[in-house]
Amino acid sequence: MPPARAKIDGKWLQSNSLTIEVGKPVVRNYDSKGRDVFFKAILDKTKVYVGQQTLLDYEIFTNKDVINVEFEKLPQFQHIFVKPIERQNAGKNVIINNQRYYTQVVESFVLYPQKSGRQKLDRINIIYKYDVNTGSNPFFNEVKAEKHATNDLELEVAELPDNNVPGTFSGAVGEFSFSNKLSRQTISTEEILKIEMKIKGDGDPKFWNAPKWESIKGIEFFEPNLLSEETVIENGKEIHTKVYEYLAEVKKGGEFILYPKFSFFSPQNNRYITLEDKPLTINVLQGSKNNVNRQKEEDKDSSEEHSAEKKYYWPLLFLLLMTISGLSYWVFSKRKKQKNDIDAKINAKRIADQCLVRAKSFLDAGENRMFFEEISHALTRYLKFKMNIENEELDKNTLLNKLTVLDVPDSLVSSFDKMYSLCEISLFGGQSPDTKDVFNETLNIISSLEELFSRRKNV
């Protein structure tokens, strides 16, 4: 279009020129069946893996003046976690069977399959309202409502391959990145090492947990804490970020190098991928307490050396010292284990209370899934430290059996079972149980167990 010209106050002014590109209309091969309005359910992927994010859009195609769209009920599918998602979707015109339609996405959902197999997504009813010009009054139109059903869909869900699974894999499925931050590069053996790991990705957050560090002699890692979890929309997808805190005890001085790794299954590449962050170098200074003990041992050895006078004294002394040393080490190890067990039992209630404090903050913030995750941690970690249970045995059946063996009242065992099951439904079942009374009931369960165990010497 050429520029426009106008004469203002005796001066000619000129606008810029404008170029308009006219493209061909978008043609869709849908069967409209001659309808003026119809809806389509559209998946961005029809073949996915368990835990992989996929998007479900409901589009309207209309040549009427539709003013409102309502779902008769929101979609609910078996073995699939469904969540509404807000995405920016601009409308456009398309040609279907030589008829022009205006189309736009009216609702979007993110799906996370929880189980493998062919999952059927049943059709749902959508009610739409539109203006009708009756001709009797040019200023007011009549509003009519009609209902149409969407199409059926199928989603093929595959299990993750069981070959070439890296040891650092912790359940993440999708595309991910991660980073690490060391609180201090130089510490002493009397201080606790702190590392933060930030993981970001688009997989189902219920499926991925904190990865484990490779075993390093002299460093003992404790159970990691989930500091924060955030979900945002980026490029039309849900992106989840988790920040974990790792605490570790360093038992001897020296320089240690940690190699952070995070493994996930990438559907895009159809294989497991292990990411490696830059190595973390830690300088550990020997604490004063250990130096004193070491000096005492050196003084003792020196004293024993100067007391040897006879030819056969050294072999006898050596045998005697080996016997005493072995016996002392056995007694020391046994007492240390007993002390550690006692400390763990004493700290079990404190650890559970810390989980409950975090659970309360998530409850107040309306973050129900995080709330149930901390409730689950409070229950399992309390029994883990109270009963010296290994991590691989922290499943519901094992915990219930141990409570039964200890003659815990059936009512208390039943309450524990009920609360643990609620957590499983929320974290792995794709449902949102009612949070009413959950916090108080969990607090009562742990307090009752603590009171019961404190009266018994064998727990």
Looking at the domain covering 174-288, what would its CATH class be?
mainly beta
Residues 249-262: tens digit of each pLDDT: 898 889 999 999 99
What whole-number percentage of the chain has pLDDT above 70? 82
Q: Where are the domains of the chain?
A: 26-158, 174-288, 334-454
Least confident of 202-206, 340-344, 346-350, 413-417: 340-344
What does the pLDDT read at residue 395?
81
Higher-pLDDT residue of 95, 16? 95
Cα angle 173, 433, 404 (rounded to 5 degrees) comes to 90
Instruction: Give the length of the chain.
Output: 459
Q: Does residue 26 register a pLDDT over 60?
A: no
Most confident of 142-146, 195-199, 425-429: 195-199
262/214 Cα distance (integer angstroms):
11
What does the pLDDT read at residue 286?
86
Would you say 228 and 242 are in contact if contact means Cβ atoms under 8 Å apart? yes
Residues 44-77: tens digit of each pLDDT: 999 999 999 999 999 999 988 888 899 988 887 8
What does the pLDDT read at residue 459?
56
Residues 215-238: tens digit of each pLDDT: 888 899 988 999 999 999 998 899
What's the chain's Rg over C-alpha atoms?
A: 33
Q: How confident is the model at residue 39 (pLDDT cuts 50, 70, 90)?
A: very high
> Considering the chain, what is the average pLDDT of its residues?
82
What does the pLDDT read at residue 31?
58
**Domains 26-158 and 174-288 agree in fold:** yes
CATH 2.40.360 fits 26-158, yes or no: no
Positive/negative CA dihedral, 419, 423, 424, 426: positive
What values do phi and psi take at 317, rounded to 5? -60, -40
pTM above 0.75, yes or no: no
| Residue 13 identity (one-letter amino acid) | L
Residue 99 forms beta bridges with which residues?
96
What does the pLDDT read at residue 150?
92
Mean pLDDT confidence for 109-128 = 91
116/113 Cα distance (integer angstroms):
7
What does the pLDDT read at residue 292?
39
What does the pLDDT read at residue 83?
87
